[in-house]
Structure 1
Amino acid sequence: MIRTYAFNGYIQEAQNLFNKTPNPDVCTWNIILKGFIEHGALNVAHKTFERMPCHNIVSWTAMIAALAHNGCCQEALQLFYCMYAHGFIADKVTYMRALDACSSYCTLIQGQQIHASIVEDGLAEDNMVGTSLISMYGKCGNLADATCVFSRTKKDIICWTAQISACAQNAYYEEALILFSEMLKAGLNPDILTFVCALDACSSLLLLSEGRQMHAAIVAYGLEQHCLTGTALVKYYGKCRMLLDVRSVFSAIAHCDIASWNALLTVLVESEFNRDALYLFWQMHVQYVKADNISYICVLNACSKLSAREKGLEVHMAWIEHRMDGDAKIANALINFYGKCGDLCSAHHVFYALTYRDVVSWNTLISVYLSNFLAKEALILLQDMLWTGIQADNVTFIYAFDACSALADLMMGHQIHTSFVEHGTVVDPMIQSALLKMYGKCKSIHDAIYIFGKMEETDVILWTILIGAHNDGGFSEEALNLFNKMQLKGIQPDSTAYVCVLDACANLAALQSGCKLHDAIQEKGWGNEPIVGSALIHMYGNSGDIEKAESVFRGLAEPNLAIWNAIIAGFAYNGHGKKTFIYFNEMLRTGVKPDEISFVSILTACSHAGWINHGKHCFIHMMYGYKLQHVEEHCVCIVDMLGRAGRLEEAEQIIQHLSLQNVSTAWLSLIGACRYHNDQACAWRAAKNLSKLGNHNSGPLLILAGIFAGR
């Protein structure tokens, strides 16, 4: 009767009846123990196990399996060894459950020890045990031992699937598909899990034809409505960016579980369909699908990308309302969301509410500071992290190098690079990229070349960073040479590489080289990419061919802010004041809001055209109408505009009243205007102010000497 109650979910009734049983035997204890386990009451099951007057192999196996299934893998393995200490000999089921714990815990050494015990007990030839060993070695990253076990095991469909999965998990995708093909030749029919593993390999390799064939086979076997195969197809088509197919296969799933919904959410967010992801998340609530932590992380990432603070707050409130278990990954997603929305206060609140802050949480907060242009504060936060005893990982160092890049702080960059070397961490391509960028932004070309030369393998990304470093350092001609050298090495440029080299042409006003690059871009079909279009407009504008720049602009569908800024700047710097404002107003009509860069071009146009009142009005409207922060470039434009008109004292007052940290370029511009208008007094005051900023450039002194000499 206890068994009937327990296995039908009436756990309380089973317990009441058990409590009334005088001197229950071990079998009765095992029934109530399994009842608690099936009911999900792990803590109660554990206490019951400890209360048992005696155990048998069934008791030990049930408890080990329960702990492993609930993620308590270390406790499961401790219990396994405890069982041996009590004189019990494991059977094949016990070994399989212990191997499950090793798989989830990724503890290879303990897995190998258990394998040795299996061999000693003569169970190595057992098919089910062999399959568990293959799975364990696959999940622990030891494909060689998995293959060795596979070669000695009788191969049924479960065994084949375990080996295919082991290959896919360890990024041996081609081998996984070869095994799948061999399995079919051996006359075995794939099951649901086999298809899932094979689809994972297809999606990782972005194999469209093979994936389509796999889909057709799934339909032929009548498995397209199954939750697992349907979810695998959603992931596959998502990786291949085939959104129509994604929606089609999702709709075909008979009963979607939370994993299916999460797969679709992930695809939408990764494909930048963030508003669709938000809509889907709320649809889940309407259809009474209980979101889990993965769902919340996905939708918070969507809100982050949209900077949708109000929507994100609703999601945060929903998470609290549903009393989801605290999860560090959720907290990190919330920190990232609030940070991307510029709400550092809330990001801090979530961060410091964590009971334990690991390196991932610290990295998330540091990245938030960087995304809010607070590089100096990000480095201070890094120091705080180290003081708490948390060891930096590669991601931390990447963010540290990015902070040094933003600050162009070469000394700090060298210190952190030295610390990284002393740390003894393995250098990966991401670290190499970050180092190259940092030395490039710090204009330390020798360091950048040294880092590049130490690399065993270089790809188009690393070459592009080196080209960009030369460009940023003022070595645009060398950047062009590097671009040609890269192609001679057999590395084909991507669209980002073309953008870098177009910037080099823009700096050199190398119209002929730029035109050749444009032809190559057209051949590759990248001309309509926004970032490429923007670079082409910039190159033609800087090279003086404004008509060609306008032609490129007109060929782009739905130009973004960067494209609008490029064409507006082109007209402004080529002295076409009226056209500058025509395009600026056209941009506003399309609903694109200007940024600080837009107004640098507008003020430049006003300066070149002598539209002083109009320029001052635009400057005021930028600050109070659009709530944009003025930067040194705006100040230089205003000073240049007033200086050209001889209104030097007004220009001087503008510099003094604008709260800017660095105004050295503005003072230099004023000194140049003083020379043109031969105003010795104003030039002297400007030079004194410049010297207070610690500017040791001899140029201003030479100009000043020229003014006093009457030249």
Structure 2
Amino acid sequence: MMVDGYVQNYRLGDAMELFEKMPVRDTVAWNAMIKGCLHCGDLVTAKKLFDEMPGRNVISWTTMVNGYLQFGKVEVAERLFSEMPMRDVAAWNSMINGYLKMGRVEEAMNLFSKMPCPNVISWTAMISGLDYNGRTDEALVLFKKMVGSGVEPSSNTFSCVLTACTNVMALPLGVQTHGQIVKLGFSFDEFVCATLLTFYATCKEMADACKVFNEKLHRNVVIWTALLTGYGLNERHESALMVFGDMIRMGVLPNQSSFTSALNSCSGLEALDRGKEFHCIAVKLGLEADSFVGNSLTVMYSVCGNINDAVAAFRNIDVKNVVSWNSIIVGCAQHGQALWALILFGQMIRAEVDPDEITFTGLLSACSHSGMLQKGRCFFEYISRYKSSAMKLQHYVCMVDVLGRCGKLDEAEELIENMQVKPNSTVWLALLGACRMHSNLEVAERAAKSILDLEPHCSAAYVLLSNLYASAGKWSDVSRMRVRMKWGGVVKQPGRSWVTLRGVRHDFVSGDRSHPLSNKIYQKLEWLGGKLKEFGYVPDESFALHDVEDEQKQEMLSSHSERLAIAFALVTTAEGSAITVMKNLRVCGDCHRAIKLIAKVVRREIIVRDSTRFHHFRDGNCSCGDYW
């Protein structure tokens, strides 16, 4: 029908003109025109046509009920539903669906209980709606009741039930449902198969997910993506990337979700080279500007240390949503590009995208890493006054960090004492870290006590306070802390640094000589040591946190894990190329000073990501401006 063709392409005027010219307008034509008006968002014209329609049938009434529900006019839909001269199952289902979409669960349940003969669509709508509205346990009980009443589930029912099982990690019930799926012959239904994969992956049963996948040779991108995403959920990123490669070799074209999962796994592995390969594939498929793919590219480049390419990926996104803006603002904050973050925030506001709690966390973090005290205060006050519903614990953590890094330790402690929510150990740790920066033992001891009262086995509190004592030369207090840790069974997290080279991760710990290239690594360190002395470098022994001789302290500093990782990269990568090193703890002050000079000596950019931020070392300088 031409009327249908016009409205499907949103040419409502042309459809109406054709409808008016029709010599005979039967019920089908009237219904098509009313439905078309609703499809094009014109409720007023749809109602006018409905009122003028000579022989309305149950489809006409149901279409208008759906229309009112579509526009959120529930009360009008209710009235129209009650006035219907006759109601079929579709009419009842429409009203139930409308209630559930509006979150009016009780009305939906009441109507469902009154329904003369609910069919499988009715039961499925209720199961899906209860799960959608956070009442998953009731949804699963209803499914059992449905099976008990003799209604045979459809493939859609099974998908909804498996989704509900996934949401509450109901593994036994999901396995039972899988048995019913096999019994009723739905195991090869593509959407059921994809939902099964997601269910087993979420429940950490990847072996069962793989069995489901391997039961049949699949060409459906949804099923491949479900397996790919499942591996990512279980931190098996290498396997995820293998699936992505197999998918392409099998001729299955990835969609936006496939790229999102694959790029997330690249981020998890810090595999920049693989991420660039996938970026090229996305460009070839015309998906680079898609918001899901673009957001994932932005995060991947940022996490892997390449903020310039992250900004470029963000700029290429056609329709930027709040996730897009948050990804780049948080990325800029992590890389110490506070000015970029603030400029982007201004652009976000001008684009009329409402900031959320993640946006403000990124902005406060940017202020913290760049010493923007007044800006940080302004943002925090704005959240407190105008966005109080968005105020979260992480905003307090960020603000304490802003104040603490700027030396306002008393103000930071006062903020914690006056928090609207109960402070946790993370808030106090932010203060304790600032005390380490500013060598304030008095506040540090109070902060450490508060942390250990909340979390007695918090190794970070012991280590930070112990390091403060060591810096002050209070070795008896250092010993006391170590004894407390030993008796309390508290284990210090060892410092590690790593470099990913051609897809292989190379890990280092301080003083490590186990790497196959150790001889070359230490030769390079010795050569660098000589060059650093020529530049006037003298090791800062206050960062050697052990009570040993000066010569031993200097040797310990020179073989910190980040320096070993840098030396390894220098002997295994091309001259002039950038080096990226990841570290699980904060880079020490002496290493920071040494790496600035190393970057100048070797004429390379050295990127180091520590536990708080990225440092970009170039020609004797660091992007953090020595403020981190």
Counterpart position of 1:150: 112
Q: Deviations over 1:229-260 (max 9, x none)?
A: 22112111222233222222222356553322
Compare the two structures and name the one with the higher strand fraction: 2
The 1-side partners of 2:251 and 2:621 are apart by 54
Counterpart position of 2:450: 482
The equivalent position to 1:471 in structure 2, one of 432, 446, 461, is 432
After the TM superposition, which residues 49-64 of structure 1 pair with which residues of structure 2 at under 5 Å, given as runs?
50-52=17-19, 53-54=21-22, 55-59=25-29, 61-62=31-32
Aligned residues, how many?
Answer: 547
Q: CA 1:325 to 1:663, structure 2 compared with 1: closer, same or farther past 3 Å?
A: closer
The 2-side partners of 1:316 and 1:367 are apart by 21
The AA in structure 2 aligned to 1:137 is: Y
Structure 2 residue 50 is the aligned partner of structure 1 residue 84: yes
Aligned-pair identity in percent equals 20
- 1:452 Cα deviation (Å)? 7.2
Of structures 1 and 2, the one with the larger relative CO (CA 8 A, separation 6+) is 2
Task: Say what the alpha-carbon RMSD is for the aligned residues.
Answer: 4.7
After the TM superposition, which residues 285-304 of structure 1 pair with which residues of structure 2 at under 5 Å, given as runs?
285-304=248-267
Counterpart position of 1:627: 604
The equivalent position to 1:435 in structure 2, one of 396, 414, 419, is 396
The 1-side partners of 2:589 and 2:381 are apart by 44
Question: In the alignment, is the contact (CA less than 8 A) between 2:403 and 2:411 conserved in 1?
Answer: no
- 1:302 Cα deviation (Å)? 3.4
Q: CA 1:583 to 1:197, structure 2 compared with 1: closer, same or farther past 3 Å?
A: same
The 2-side partners of 1:318 and 1:50 are apart by 46
Counterpart position of 2:190: 227
- 1:165 Cα deviation (Å)? 0.9
Q: Deviations over 1:39-98 (max 9, x none)?
A: x97468995565232454423544676898xxxx56375664453365467644456556
The 2-side partners of 1:77 and 1:93 are apart by 17
Counterpart position of 1:166: 129
Counterpart position of 1:635: none
The equivalent position to 1:213 in structure 2, one of 167, 176, 189, is 176
Question: In the alignment, is the contact (CA less than 8 A) between 2:336 and 2:623 conserved in 1?
Answer: no
TM-score where L is the length of structure 2: 0.71
Structure 2 residue 460 is the aligned partner of structure 1 residue 534: no
Counterpart position of 2:527: none
Question: In the alignment, is the contact (CA less than 8 A) between 1:227 and 1:253 conserved in 2?
Answer: no
- 1:346 Cα deviation (Å)? 4.5
Q: CA 1:358 to 1:85, structure 2 compared with 1: closer, same or farther past 3 Å?
A: farther
Q: Deviations over 1:647-682 (max 9, x none)?
A: xxxxxxxxxx965799999xxxxxxxxxxxxxxxxx
Q: Deviations over 1:504-537 (max 9, x none)?
A: 4554556556555567668xxxx7xxxx6337x9
The AA in structure 2 aligned to 1:153 is: M
Q: CA 1:90 to 1:507, structure 2 compared with 1: closer, same or farther past 3 Å?
A: farther
Q: CA 1:279 to 1:484, structure 2 compared with 1: closer, same or farther past 3 Å?
A: closer
After the TM superposition, which residues 108-187 of structure 1 pair with which residues of structure 2 at under 5 Å, given as runs?
109-122=72-85, 126-154=88-116, 155-187=118-150
- 1:378 Cα deviation (Å)? 0.9
Q: CA 1:451 to 1:91, structure 2 compared with 1: closer, same or farther past 3 Å?
A: farther
- 1:415 Cα deviation (Å)? 0.8
The AA in structure 2 aligned to 1:143 is: V
The 2-side partners of 1:256 and 1:664 are apart by 53
The AA in structure 1 aligned to 2:399 is: M
The AA in structure 2 aligned to 1:412 is: K
Q: Greater CA radius of gyration, 1 or 2?
A: 1
- 1:622 Cα deviation (Å)? 5.6
* Unpaired runs of at least 5, structure 1: 1-29, 488-492, 538-557, 606-614, 632-656, 666-711
Compare the two structures and name the one with the higher helix fraction: 1
Counterpart position of 2:296: 333
The AA in structure 1 aligned to 2:493 is: G
Counterpart position of 1:75: 41
The 1-side partners of 2:382 and 2:358 are apart by 14
Q: Deviations over 1:135-171 (max 9, x none)?
A: 2332333323322322322444332221121121122
The 2-side partners of 1:454 and 1:601 are apart by 31
Counterpart position of 1:268: 231
The AA in structure 1 aligned to 2:41 is: E
* Unpaired runs of at least 5, structure 2: 436-442, 470-476, 497-504, 515-521, 523-540, 573-578, 609-618
Query: The residue matched to 1:218 in structure 2 has which SS?
Result: helix
Query: The residue matched to 1:442 in structure 2 has which SS?
Result: helix
Question: In the alignment, is the contact (CA less than 8 A) between 2:509 and 2:560 conserved in 1?
Answer: no
Question: In the alignment, is the contact (CA less than 8 A) between 1:483 and 1:501 conserved in 2?
Answer: no
Q: CA 1:500 to 1:581, structure 2 compared with 1: closer, same or farther past 3 Å?
A: same
The 1-side partners of 2:333 and 2:564 are apart by 33
Question: In the alignment, is the contact (CA less than 8 A) between 2:380 and 2:395 conserved in 1?
Answer: no
The AA in structure 2 aligned to 1:51 is: L
